[in-house]
Amino acid sequence: MTPTIAPRVRTLVLLLLAAAGLLLGGAAPASAHAALTGSDPRQGAVVDKAPTQVSLTFSEQVSMSADSLRVLDPKGTPVQRGKPSNVSGTTYAVQLHSGLPDGTYTVTYQVVSADSHPVSGAYTFSVGAPSSTSVSVSDGTAGGGVVGWLYGFGRYMSYAGFVVLVGGAAFVLACWQRGSGVRAVQRLVVSGWLTLTSATLVLLLLRGSYTGSGKVGDIFDLDLLGQVLQTKTGAALVSRLLLLAAAALFIAVLFGAYDKREGQEKRDLTFGLAIGGFVVAAGLAASWAMSEHASVGLQAGISMPVDVVHLLAVATWLGGLTALLVALYRAPADTPVDPAAVRRFSSVAFGSVVALVLTGTYQSWRQLGSWSAFTDTRYGQLLLVKIGLVALLVGIAYISRRWTAQLADTVVQRSKQAPQKEQVTAGGSKGAGDAKRAAQLARQQAAMDVARQKRERDADPNRFGLRRSVLAEATVAVVLLAVTTVLTQTEPGRTEQDAKAASSSSSSSSSSSSNPSSGAVTLDMSFDTGGEDGKGVVRVDLDPARVGANEMHVYVERPNGRAFDIPEVKVAFTLKTKDIGPLPVVPDHITTGHWAASGVQIPMAGEWTVAVTVRTSDIDQTTVSKNAQIG
């Protein structure tokens, strides 16, 4: 006996909510997509005199507000002055009050990364000597709590709405044009539009609190909303709402005038709807690409259009699958989804999977950076789960394709045979004015027709097998969509490994290190100029240590690890095997014991000699050097 549609729908809804709850609830509270890769003073550093500023370097550009970067004295009193500023590239600094006493200071930050996710954290450094502090050093909760969960669920629902809207409309236009007159398919596509529109409005309201205080009471703060509208994410959400207005017009034509057209007029309208629908769908996909992972990092100019194609492929496949499932279960007997439409969708789905694999492979390389990131990072582990689900989905789709072939071979052309209806007669009553009795007979006849249509729809075992396999596909697709949503909120593997490398470099006392995931090179060299206060260690950080422009930081410390200033520091790069150099670089003084230079050009890959000239007085200086593989 064929199960009814209601229990299956309830099962799908429960599965959707369970998957969303488990996966979104298990997400980290703060998705630090911009990793802190350096700071000055460094974490745990002890400096001789109070610095004039504190600077932080991130793996990508971030957005800061007036209180995004704070420095607290041992009693918890803020000692920064003015607003944080962008010093250079991805380095941000805030000025400090003069005359700060000795003790341990706490640096706290809460910023928004370029891919729209909040980032927070804290660390300490000391002036003179470490001391007790009343400030509790702990990571912030940006993006966490109830607001964080609501924001994550809103993102999931927006993806789900986009998939159903775009995929359902594409299924009707490309595979089953008769479906434009099927009410169940109409309701599906309209529900996708309503879901995406509602979720977008909710995300717009939640955004200010999500990236700021995390308080539920701030959701309806109009000042915060005004600030959100000035950000890249706010502009993307508003653009999405405007495109959804155009999508509403598209839906009205698709399920209104379109079904009534015939012949050449309908073909012309199909072409117009296909072009307009593609432009609107691509614009909706771009509202994600322009504000999330694809918009930052390596090859952003290539990554954003690739991400648009990726999202459109996902929507066409999974949304079309949902529309096919609804058509198989809910299409009336006089408008059944025919095998030709299923075959067309199978071809469209195959093309979507090919596009999905190609774009997904590129994005995976871009976000992971190394094979080890598959197992060593949360992003990589989730990506492996997603790959497994896609493989399972393709396997079930192959079974569906077999059912489709069998259905096409065994279809009985019942539409050419007028079915014999069971007639309900009125016995001996032939009164011409008996309207009540006629209405009763009409209701009985309608009930019998519905029952007959249901028997006809469920009679073919091949159609029943296809329905079951498509239902299995849709079930896996729900979980796949949840995993995809969590991936968008998870720190990319490349960034996570960069952050780990920076943390390791900060706490390591090794003389030379190189991180294969980020490419950054750190060289520690001891020096002794022979004069008073002439001993110490100079450290050179070169990032990303590749051919082209690099960012260089030079730190000078006493043997006890405390930063101190000297009159002059110069660096020179020489590639002896190619007779290139020395290429001189004179870094700018940033703060106590710290010099930096941006745009350091390395013309060729090879083993370079990095020579540092250190002058500790008018007459005392020395040059130390080490070799490093660059490029």
Name which of 144-148, 198-202, 620-624 the model is least confident about. 144-148
> Per-residue confidence at 400, pLDDT binned at 50, 70, 90?
low
Task: Please determine, for residue 164, whether its predicted confidence score (pLDDT) is greater than 80.
Answer: yes
Summarised one tens digit per residue, pLDDT across range 225-265 is 888 888 888 899 999 999 999 999 999 998 887 777 777 88
Q: Could you tell me which residues are beta bridge partners of residue 113?
A: 62
Task: Please determine, for residue 19, whether its predicted confidence score (pLDDT) is greater than 50.
Answer: no
Cα dihedral 115, 372, 312, 12, rounded to 10, equals: -100
What's the confidence (pLDDT) of residue 219?
85
Q: Could you tell me which residues are beta bridge partners of residue 569?
A: 614
Calculate the alpha carbon distances from 67 to 45, 111, 508 in Å. Answer: 23, 9, 31
pTM tops 0.75: no
Give the highest mean pLDDT range of 309-313, 455-459, 615-619.
309-313
Name which of 19-33, 105-119, 189-203, 578-592 the model is least confident about. 19-33
> Per-residue confidence at 190, pLDDT binned at 50, 70, 90?
very high
Phi-psi region of 495 (alpha: psi -120 to 50; beta: other; left: phi over 0): alpha
Strand order in the sheet with 80-88: 36-40, 53-58, 91-96, 80-88
Task: Please determine, for residue 579, whether its predicted confidence score (pLDDT) is greater than 70.
Answer: yes
Longest dimension (CA), the chain: 128
Cα 85 to Cα 65: distance, rounded to the nearest angstrom: 10
> Per-residue confidence at 482, pLDDT binned at 50, 70, 90?
confident
Would you tell me how many other CB atoms lie within 10 Å of the CB of residue 479?
21
Lookup result for tokens 């809103």 = 154
> What string of DSSP letters covers 508-560?
---SEEE-TTT--EEEEEEEE-SSTT-EEEEEEEEES-SSEEEEEEEEEE-TT
Q: Could you tell me which residues are beta bridge partners of residue 607?
A: 629
> Per-residue confidence at 112, pLDDT binned at 50, 70, 90?
confident
